[in-house]
Structure 1
Amino acid sequence: MSVSAGATAVRRGQISAVEVISSALDRSESSQDTLNTYTLIDREGALERAEIIDEMAARGQDPGPLAGVPIALKDLIDQAGLPTTCGSGFYERISDRSATVVERLEAAGAVIIGRTGLHEFAYGFSSENHWFGPVRNPWDTQTSPGGSSGGSAVAVAAGLAAAAIGTDTGGSVRVPAGMCGIVGLKVTHGRVPLTGVFPLALSLDTVGPLGRSVEDVALLYAALAGHDPNDPWSAPRPVPTPGEVPPDLSGIRIGLPYPWISDAPTTPGVATAFATAIDRISDAGAIITALQAPALIPSPHGGSIVGGEAAKVHRPWFGKQPYGPAVAERLRTAFEVTIDQYIDALEWTAKLRNATAAVFQDVDLLMTPTVAATRKVIGEPTIDGIPYRRVLSWFSSLVNHIGVPALSVPLRAPGTPPPSLQLVAPWWAEKRLFAVGRALETLGIATFSAPPIP
């Protein structure tokens, strides 16, 4: 059942929120030993919230557009009265106030059923956590779901929650969406508030939804987006309502950026699925153009931005508190970033954004694979001999440095999971992503396939 259909059924009294939430909690608890999706499942709090929603519906009050929808929440987003661990062995904060995004979800009637596992402090792409153990992909439990929002993606793909919330600093919503075969949205930087969200690199951090369809993700986005005066990064811009779904893709101008695509460490299965998708999208009326955009290519400068900002966040604890070995090594490197390197990286970012603005004068969207590979074995540091972070972040991290929105949708293609497609839009053009993404689903080019959950 979709998010919209489920919420409508609860609002009309066709099913109770308590029934919906109890079922989601049961599935979450029974799969925990196999998938390790959560750091905490909040049965008591979720059922209390569901009872309130049912009482509102019984009185004829509208509980909201997300009434009774079970949501999984990444465990670095504050939820009043519950611990935020960030997947850490030492950090645990119990806030007396929820993050702005949690307040907005609950105001819309959503019910948060649990806090999901992640890469420690969101500083990685595998969700293999030294303290909580690895989150496991429901397509193959010997493989990673990607990261850092791995638990959020698993909750959605495995049907434990109707949708989930993650964060994306270099691909941490889109990478796990692509590796679990679901839909994930990276919003324009500043579109969704960061108040109450533990930072990785504030100039790049975003909060975004994951779901089984573009419509589901768009509904969550509508609840999340909008200005928050308590967040200095939040932009005071209006949020357009989603438009109609076009019957085809006639006239949509889509650019294929090279050498970003041609230089990627893409596996054969992903390359084949991407080529097939290009043909099908062209047949549906889109105008597809190969673009020479040499500025749009991953660079070590990106690591200087993330590292420099992560070092500032972790300065109070690093060297004094225990970190997992992999994240400790990344932070050691982060603390070596010099001010000159950081300023050089800012100059690179400015040039990158100017180049991207010029590209969007000629096309409506850019299109790439979401991830260059869909399978990363837990415990293995490489994919086909290449460091896994390079493989998994190739198509995602650049988007964060540009600051634009991007949508990952799973293709109707062979694979376990099937490869995914990334659509990249200009700044603030999430509405365009939803329209084209939903058209791809209507045309049968993109679709969610349920994994064979163990």
Structure 2
Amino acid sequence: MSTSLPDLTLEETRAALRRGEVSPREVAAGYLEAINRWEPALSSFRSVSEDLVHQVSRLVEDEIQKGVPRPLAGIGVSVKDNIDVAGLHTTAGSSWLNEQAADNAECWRRVELSGAVHIGKTNLHEFAYGATNVNHKAQTTRNPWDRRHICGGSSGGSAVSVATGSCSASLGTDTGGSVRIPAALTGVTGFKPTLGRIPTSQVFPLSPSCDTIGVLSRTATGCAHIFRSLVLDDPIEPDSPLRPSLRGARLGVVMSHVSRSSPAVGDVFRRALDVVEGLGATVEPFELLHEEESCLTTRTIVAFEAAQVHRRWLRDRREDYGDDVRARLEAGLAVSSRRYRVAREERRELAAKMLESQRRFDAVIGPTVPITAPRVEDCTPARAADMQAALLANTYCFNVTGQPAISVPCGMANDGLPVGLQMAAAPGRDGEVLSIARALQEATEWHRRRPSLEGLRQ
């Protein structure tokens, strides 16, 4: 093939496999080669399932040769290490939790049944409670575009594994932006489905009422292939876009997300917005009502629920937590049960108002993250709260409402780091947000950019 296997998108790899241009074992070797090339410097994996990769690849080779391949036959998928994979240990990004999973989480079971090859478990911010992936107690995952910078989190290892071609897709989790933030900072596509669409059984919880299974791949089409395996009730067909172009699409620009962005991110987003309009979309600025208030309320819910998950461990092994995560968990202990119940009701009311303000649009858009990836050295415990607030500023609101949201690459800032464009549609309109993103990517080349090994020598 003229293109290196690790540089292919999921859909290109899938097509090459079905045409017989490459074998599952060759694809698997390409994934493992990429891991060997990038992994020592980036720490995106907690474990790599090399023997299993070879074993499953041999099995799916037979079904492809017989002409009866499953939808994801031979496609390598990594799994965030708070999602159980039978027989493997789940650490949830900690330095001390190390429990062997008896069964697969339901989300991974569905993807595996579609023929996907498990590549490995990816690193995350400790217990998924942070947006940097700077993990002071375990390992820190770095950005492949420049390893001096963070990759974002909490699904940072998943994003980096996709960006480096170590897999074609990854399963992550998203409670406040944990799939979309690292996708934006590493130049890949990250999709958060509607809240509740994908079961979270046997996924180590952060906030059970807010946790969402998400998908990372290089493209929206790649995400659609994985999403199609995760749900059985969505009409989207990954091989044929539902929306052939953006002509006629009505898109609302979230002005608060633009105004809080850095000049570098704002410039990239505005250029991307010109492209969106040039493709025929009608673009209109609007204000997302009750955004700040609703995010504060939902943070109260997340803090309370997370503290309940960790209450016993906070008592027995408090010093085993990183300073930033421990501070967030202990703040949650201070939230009363009454305040939690009130916050849940407030969230429902505010989410309804936020959704009402978007009704006239097919989707709303803005920069995914208002800044490019900060340096690892700047993500100290003393600055953790400010860094967390900056990274979550534009994503958290769509966790409040439970809307499907996606981050797609939209260019590079003047510091050489990627910028993401976020789109969100009404709850249940997962296919719509995916098809809009796919139409944009079919007309642009932003998702074609790849990090180089030069970034490792910084």
State the match for 1:146 in structure 2. Answer: 152
Aligned to 1:49: 56
Q: Which amino acid letter does the alignment assign opposite residue 397 of structure 2? A: L
Offset of residue 102 of structure 1: 1.4
Aligned to 2:94: 88
Give the match's secondary structure for 1:319. helix
Say yes or no: does 1:252 pair with 2:258.
no
Query: Which one of 353, 377, 380 corresponds to residue 379 of structure 1?
Result: 377
Instruction: Tell me the percent identity.
Output: 33
Match of 2:331 in 1: 333
Question: Shift in Å at residue 13 of structure 1?
Answer: 4.0
Indicate the residue corresponding to 2:321 in structure 1: 323
Q: Partners in 2 of 1:209 and 1:358 — Cα distance? A: 27
User: Which amino acid is 1:313 matched to?
Assistant: V
Distance in 2, Cα, partners of 1:330 & 1:221: 32
Contact 1:12-1:57 at 8 Å conserved across structures: no
Q: What is the deviation of 1:445?
A: 7.1
Partner of 2:3: none
1:15 aligned onto 2:17: no
C-alpha separation between the residues in 2 aligned to 1:259 and 1:375? 20
Does structure 2 retain, via aligned residues, the 8 Å contact 1:168–1:205? yes
Worse-superposed segment, 62-71 or 303-312: 62-71
Superposed displacement of residue 7, structure 1:
2.5
Shift of 1:261: 4.0
Matches within 5 A, 1:407-426: 407-415=406-414, 416-426=416-426
| Contact 1:409–1:447 (CA under 8 A) maintained in structure 2 | yes
Q: Which residue of 1 aligns with 2:227?
A: 221
> Which residue does 1:309 correspond to in 2?
305
After superposition, residues 35-434 of structure 1 pair within 5 angstroms as 35-58=42-65, 60=66, 62-226=68-232, 238-242=233-237, 244-262=241-259, 264=260, 266-297=261-292, 299-321=295-317, 322-381=320-379, 387-415=386-414, 416-434=416-434
- Closer, same or farther in 2 for the Cα pair 1:4/1:444, shift >3 Å? closer
Residue 5 of structure 1 deviates from its aligned partner by: 3.0
Does the 8 A contact of 2:179 with 2:192 survive in 1?
yes
Q: 406-415 or 426-435: which moved more?
A: 406-415
CA distance 1:384–1:368, change in 2 (3 Å): farther
Q: Residue 296 of structure 1 contacts residue 355 of structure 1 at CA under 8 Å; is this kept in 2?
A: no
The alignment of Structure 1 onto Structure 2 pairs a total of residues equal to 440
- Which digits, 9 at most, give the CA deviation of each residue in 1:85-116, with x for residues without a partner? 11112211112211111111111111011110
Structure 1, unaligned runs of 5 or more: 227-237
- Structure 1 residues 13, 440: closer, same or farther in 2, change over 3 A? closer
**Runs ≥4 residues deviating over 6 A:** 382-386
SS at match of 1:201: coil
The CA deviation at 1:384 is 11
Offset at residue 258 of structure 1 (A) = 4.0
- Contact 2:252-2:365 at 8 Å conserved across structures: yes
Distance 1:204 1:427 in 2: 14
Per mean C-alpha deviation after superposition, the further-off stretch among 387-396 and 14-23 is 14-23
CA contact (8 A) 1:181 1:420 kept: yes
**What is the deviation of 1:204?**
0.9
- What is the alpha-carbon distance in structure 2 between the residues aligned to residue 88 and residue 357 of structure 1? 36
Cα separation, 1, equivalents of 2:127 and 2:67: 40
Q: Normalising by structure 2, what TM-score?
A: 0.91
2:94–2:126 Cα contact (<8 Å) kept = yes
Cα gap change, 1:384 to 1:439, in 2 (>3 Å): farther
Larger relative helix fraction = 2
User: Per the alignment, in what secondary structure is the counterpart of residue 318 of structure 1?
Assistant: helix
Tell me if the contact between 1:440 and 1:446 (Cα under 8 Å) persists in the aligned partners: no
Per-residue CA distance 1:24-69 (angstroms, 9 max, x = gap): 11321332220111100111112111111123334x1523111111
Task: Supply the distance in 1 between the matched residues of 2:400 and 2:52 (Cα, whole angstroms).
Answer: 37
User: Using the alignment, how far apart are the partners of 1:43 and 1:176 within structure 2?
Assistant: 25
**Distance of 1:410 and 1:112 partners within structure 2:** 25
- Residues in 1 aligned to 2:39 and 2:445: alpha-carbon distance in whole angstroms: 32
Conserved 8 A contact 1:79-1:97: yes
Range with greater deviation from structure 2 (34-43 or 44-53): 44-53
Taking the aligned partners of 2:347 and 2:438, their CA distance within structure 1 comes to 31
User: Quick check: 1:277–1:445 contact (8 Å CA) kept in 2?
Assistant: no
SS of match in other structure, 1:387: helix
Per-residue CA deviations over 1:141-168 (Å, capped at 9, x if unaligned) read 0111000000000011111111111110
Q: 2:200 aligns to what SS in structure 1?
A: coil
**Whole-angstrom distance in 1 between the partners of 2:12 and 2:274:** 33
Deviation at 1:385, TM superposition (A): 11
The alignment partner of 1:146 has SS state of coil
Provide the residue aligned with 1:232 in structure 2.
none
Question: CA distance change for structure 1 residues 102 and 380 in 2, over 3 Å: closer, same or farther?
Answer: same
| Structure 2 gap segments, 5+ residues each | 1-7
CA distance in 1, matches of 2:445, 2:342: 41
CA distance in 2, matches of 1:240, 1:353: 26
SS at match of 1:54: helix
Query: Residues 181 and 418 of structure 1 are in contact (CA less than 8 Å); yes or no, is this contact kept in structure 2?
Result: yes
Residues 29 and 41, structure 1, Cα contact 8 Å, conserved in 2: no
Q: C-alpha root-mean-square deviation of aligned residues, in Å?
A: 2.1
Per-residue CA deviation, residues 306-328 of structure 1 (Å, 9 max, x unaligned), is 10110111123212122122211
Contact 2:324–2:384 (CA under 8 A) maintained in structure 1 = no
